[in-house]
Chains A and B, each alone.
Chain A
Amino acid sequence: MLDRKTLEARVSQRFPSVVIGDESGDLALTVGRMHLVELAAWLRDEPELNFKFLNNLCGVDFLGREPRFEVVVHLTSIPNQMRIALHVGVPENDPTVPTLTRLFPTANYQERETYDMFGIIFTGHPGLERILMPEDWMGYPQRKDHPLGYEEVAFTHNEDWIYANKPFAKE
């Protein structure tokens, strides 16, 4: 069974650039975008590590911080009964992250959702489209600067006015 100390040591030996941290008791690795796929593949394929299961992939918008976005990936090693988090910073002016779908097919929908909600582009994804929001939605709703909006209820007496002035979300 793998313990946390060994894993930390192995990660820092193999990937010196990875920052090792803690996320409420779970091991958290902060990794650059260019190393993400390499690190994930290594974690997955190294026999003793065996992080074959991708639990969760989501985006976070730290508005006002640099880098603004963060993609958080949680991996589980079923034989080791251990969960780790990978944090990947994504700058606002170039919101791209290499896709993990080739390693973990389960990342497919979660990356689509993250793209849908945060506009983070996963390069190499086989079908990066909106998944939860309508296809013609403007903007990325879970960004902190997305207008929350308010819709006036349309009645016959005011619907023309409402549709003319409808506050569509701006980029």
Chain B
Amino acid sequence: MVMQAQQYPEIEIPTPSQIAETANLGPDEEGENRMVLSMGPQHPSTHGVLRLAVELSGETVVNLAPDVGYLHTGIEKTMETKTYTKSIVLTDRIDYLAPMSNNMAYVSAVEKLMQIEVPERAQVLRVLLLEMTRLNSHLVWLGTHALDLAAMSVFLYALREREYILDIFEMLTGARMMTSYFRVGGLAWDIPKDFIPTVEQFLDYFPPHIDEYEDLLTSNPLWRERTVGVGVVSDEDAVALGLTGANLRASGVNWDLRKAMPYSGYETYDFDVPVLYNGDIYDRYLCRLQEMRESVKIMRQALARLKDLAGGPFITDNRKVAPPPKTEITYSMESLIHHFKLWTEGFRPARGSAYMGIESPRGEFGCYVVSDGTPKPWRVHFRAPSFINLQALPHMAKGKLVADLVAMIASLDPVLGEVDR
């Protein structure tokens, strides 16, 4: 049977070399010469080392192709040579603004593969940290987005609040960005004594600041002028282009993995998923701001539960994956053996594969793990939302101005570490 299914002729995702070729064709039918502008990889607003081959007619974008790979570090390949536990540190480096989300995707894929139950307290703590990570990432997004449109104060305000979150991370894990806090079966260690009060302070401190950002931007006429009706993606195109996260929800598709395919007990929390319908930059902005408020809501609930569950386990007591407590090793021979086996060799999941997607700040962050029964993963693949969201850029930007292009990149919120992995 010949396929006559509906296709997407209007969605083209050119490659940089195709753009370069069109530039050599000479003047177009109207006699206008096109200019190919190589935006990046060193450009102030490509959020890292993204390069865009942009074909311009005057200042209007005729076509463009993102050129990625400048930050390719081969994390997937490297993970094949490390044990499951040692790989966790590598996942932090993928999306360096949301390390906990990456940790979560990876460890929950392994947990899914091995069918490990995570204790409730660890789940609650994970939710708390994931939402804090979301705030962290969204704050950087907000700041850089505003900075890209030259509203520079918002950037510094957003980073001020982010600093608070990073301090909490540092208190918890010793690292500000590369936290590596999650482990298969739970978390690396228990929370410090001051953790709960500090987070409580943060939750009191933070929400008024969201209003502050809104004061500066939401009804600012110049901000609206730059964002409303720019970079529009219809709901159908958004699904076809594989957009996820706020980019998808701003186009009117109610799809949030925390609600649709809950993990880590998200189904038991009371929160809303903001959905907006215009699919432009402004809606993506509103959507993410609303998400920040919802995150605070979830964090409040998680914190309340965490207080109820004080003293509970932070990692599974399955000794085949989680190391026994140090004190146990001093008197239990079995614990010593487990400890030795885990740290010298690692655990061995059964043959098989698992795909686990979580709702990272940028969209669906997926992890596909293939095990061959050895202590090292046979193959790990990350579905990086930034990488996939970036494909929407040519579709959005055609016929728009260079200035809009900058706003569109920012609104897609790519992190180049994640794009290139």
Contact = CB atoms under 8 A, between A and B. Distances in A.
B310 interface: no
Interface stretch (B95-103, B194-202, B292-300, B350-358): B350-358
B357 A55 contact: yes
A33 interface: no
Interface residues of A, number: 48
B242 A53 contact: yes
B383 A55 contact: yes
A16 interface: no
A47 interface: no
A110 B242 CA distance: 11
A96 interface: no
A78 B275 CA distance: 15
Contacts of B17: 127, 129, 135
Contacts of B6: 45
Given A38-B1, A131-B68, A102 B7 contact: yes
Nearest to B356: A24
B415 interface: no
A105 B253 contact: no
A142 B77 contact: yes
Interface stretch (A56-64, A152-160, A161-169): A56-64
Given A141-B74, A141-B77, A83 B357 contact: yes
Contacts of B5: 41, 44-45, 103
Contacts of B242: 53-55, 104-107
Given A78-B239, A131-B68, A131-B69, A105 B8 contact: yes
Contacts of B68: 131-132
A108 B13 contact: yes
Nearest to B81: A148
A106 B391 contact: yes
B69 A134 contact: yes
B35 interface: no
A71 to B, nearest CB: 11
B24 interface: no
Contacts of B15: 112, 127, 129
Interface of A: 23-26, 37-38, 41, 44-45, 52-56, 58, 60-62, 72, 74, 78, 81, 83, 85, 102-110, 112-113, 117, 126-127, 129-135, 141-142, 148
Given A56-B368, A103-B5, 4 more contacts: A38-B1, A60-B379, A74-B368, A105-B391
